[in-house]
Amino acid sequence: MSTTGRGDRGQSTVELALILPLVVLFILLVVQAGLVVRDQILLTHAAREAARAASVATGDRAVAARRSAERSSALASDRLAVDLELVDDGRSVQVVVRYHSVTELPFIGSLVPDPILRTAAAMRIESVENHP
């Protein structure tokens, strides 16, 4: 037979009040990590699109890569950097895309620094114009 004494009344409420802020903080951390992973996936897609645009461009490849990276995803263009380099003796193009992901969730933004995400993609040049 189990009995609860008068001193145990309200114990669960106090325990919940003590642990609830930690649970909420953990949930916010998980959500913020998910947002950063989403940004990384969008950045990878933007790099692939930029490399594709640069590989088939007939004009300035760097401009084509930048425009394609900006238009291909929902990333903020002011935090996006696109670098283009010809590799493999000018037969391929490599695009490196960097993005400053912002941690702006309540409480998390002050605890976790903003990560700089980076990804690269390379493709063989398909156009014959502007080919060295």
Contact 34, 96 (CB under 8 A): no
The domain ranges of the chain are: 15-124
- pLDDT value of position 130: 47
Residue 50 to residue 85: CA distance in whole angstroms: 12
Residue closest to 36 by CA, chosen among 126, 111, 116, 120: 116
List the beta strands (DSSP E) in 49-111: 80-87, 92-100
Q: Is residue 66 a contact partner of residue 51, using CB atoms and an 8 Å limit?
A: no
Weakly modelled stretches of the chain, pLDDT under 50: 1, 130-131
pLDDT digits (tens, 9 = 90+) for 95-131: 999 999 998 888 888 888 899 999 999 999 985 554 4
